[in-house]
């Protein structure tokens, strides 16, 4: 009989992130599919009662918690100690957790400590009476998808945020069983002094955005008048991102330009690159502008739903079955007009 543990940490404000509800959805589905299984919740954080209450209507029978000032921050030593203690107290055989950066750092070590196995970047979990529990994950830059099963327990499964629907279970009052953790002084040597992050409107990568807006090298190339228009491109792109709250992706050619000393968009970094040697983001829609749509770039669009592109070249890569709609047009003109319409709508 499996004991499924949904393992989560709270955010700095004491709430649970959406990725926790996604992992809980997976854990609850598994519990439903595995006859005789038990679903329990484990929480780590400075104060966990409110977050436990926020999901108290889920089908879990027990809540285990490690709370206190030492567990409010993301720190390997204390996170691993807390997760290990909860796994042991719950006698978990399947541990389902969101693949947050905090858990992705700590849980592989915990799996080692408790003699288990871990799979990260899981995008699907299934279960059948014959094959047992199986997980899906992608390999080779998202080109091959594999389904794996494991006999080893406990099995830690880290669910990629954004790959699942969030569970809708409501609030209530959860009775938490406190799990004691002995921390040596060495565990507390590292202290998080703060988070350095760009200002909210300078943050261009937004995993939860409805739209991925991709910019290509064309934005910095000579246009019909024989001149480049980089400051205008910056203004249009920035204006659109602010109005549409889209996430900014880029082709490799554009992000590489800074290294070559060319005129570049100041807010662009390698983190924005989409493709074979970049990211593979997940968004319901994508709009590509001034980007040719070559295979090493479009392979990063695997998880983008509806795809549109704006390119001057009717023969560009997007025209070859890679976009649902290709607008053969000047992206400066189209996006300038779109920004005008969005501003008028406000």
Ligand X SMILES: Cc1cc2nc3c(=O)[nH]c(=O)nc-3n(C[C@H](O)[C@H](O)[C@H](O)COP(=O)(O)OP(=O)(O)OC[C@H]3O[C@@H](n4cnc5c(N)ncnc54)[C@H](O)[C@@H]3O)c2cc1C
User: What residues line the site for ligand X (CB under 6 A)?
Assistant: 216-218, 221, 223, 251-254, 273-278, 290-292, 294, 296-297, 300, 310-313, 316, 330-332
Distance CA(109)–CA(106), nearest Å, equals 6
At how many degrees (to 10) do helices 230-244 and 331-345 cross? Answer: 40
Closer residue to ligand X, CB minimum distance, 45 or 278: 278
Instruction: Please say whether the beta carbons of 221 and 228 come within 8 A.
Output: yes
Nearer to ligand X, 65 or 275 (CB): 275
Rounded to the nearest whole angstrom, what is the least distance from the CB of residue 330 to ligand X in the complex? 4
Q: Please say which residue, 98 or 218, places its beta carbon nearer to ligand X.
A: 218
- What's the min distance (Å) between Cβ of 260 and ligand X? 13
Phi then psi for residue 173, to 5 deg, are -120, 120
CA nearest to 44, candidates 22, 93, 77: 77
Shortest distance, position 255 Cβ to ligand X, whole Å? 8
Using DSSP's 3-state secondary structure scheme, residue 156 falls into: strand
Helices (H), ranges, the chain:
18-33, 49-54, 76-90, 101-113, 230-244, 252-256, 295-298, 331-345
Closest CA to 166 of 14, 4, 12, 16: 16
Query: In the complex with ligand X, which residue's Cβ is closer, 60 or 217?
Result: 217
Instruction: Specify the residue, 10 or 311, whose C-beta has the smaller distance to ligand X.
Output: 311
Min dist. Cβ of residue 144 to ligand X (A): 17
Question: Considering the complex, what minimum distance in angstroms separates the CB of residue 279 from ligand X?
Answer: 8
For the chain, how far is it from start to end, CA to CA, in angstroms? 56
CB of 92 to ligand X, least distance (A): 38
Of 103 and 332, which CB lies nearer to ligand X in the complex structure?
332
């Amino acid at each position: 009989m499996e004991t499924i543990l949904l393992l989560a940490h709270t955010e700095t404000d004491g709430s649970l992130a959406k990725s926790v509800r996604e992992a809980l959805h997976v854990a609850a589905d598994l519990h439903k599919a595995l006859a005789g299984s038990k679903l329990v919740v484990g929480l780590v954080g400075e104060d966990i009662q409110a977050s436990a209450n926020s999901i108290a209507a889920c089908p879990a029978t027990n809540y285990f918690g490690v709370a206190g000032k030492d567990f409010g921050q993301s720190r390997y030593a204390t996170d691993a100690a807390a997760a290990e203690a909860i796994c042991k107290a719950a006698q978990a055989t399947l541990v389902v957790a969101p693949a947050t950066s905090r858990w992705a750092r700590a849980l592989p070590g915990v799996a080692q400590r408790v003699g288990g196995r871990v799979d990260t970047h899981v995008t699907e979990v299934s279960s059948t009476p014959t094959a047992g529990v199986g997980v899906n994950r992608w390999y080779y830059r998202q080109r091959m998808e594999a389904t794996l099963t494991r006999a080893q327990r406990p099995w830690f499964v880290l669910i990629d945020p954004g790959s699942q629907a969030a569970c809708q279970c409501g609030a209530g009052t959860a009775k938490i069983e406190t799990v004691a953790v002995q921390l040596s002084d060495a565990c507390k040597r590292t202290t998080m002094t703060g988070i350095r992050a760009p200002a909210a409107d300078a943050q261009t990568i937004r995993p939860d955005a409805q739209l991925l807006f991709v910019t290509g090298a064309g934005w910095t190339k000579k246009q019909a008048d024989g001149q480049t228009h980089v400051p205008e491109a910056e203004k249009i792109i920035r204006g659109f991102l602010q109005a549409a709250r889209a996430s900014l992706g880029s082709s490799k050619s554009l992000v590489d330009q800074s290294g070559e000393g060319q005129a570049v968009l100041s807010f662009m970094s390698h983190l924005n690159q989409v493709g074979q040697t970049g990211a593979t983001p997940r968004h319901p829609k994508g709009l590509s502008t001034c980007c040719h749509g070559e295979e090493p770039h479009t392979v990063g669009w695997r998880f983008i739903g509806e795809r549109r592109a704006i390119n001057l070249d009717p023969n560009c890569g997007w025209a070859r079955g890679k976009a649902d709609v290709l607008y053969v047009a000047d992206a400066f003109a189209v996006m300038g007009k779109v920004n005008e319409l969005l501003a008028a709508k406000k």
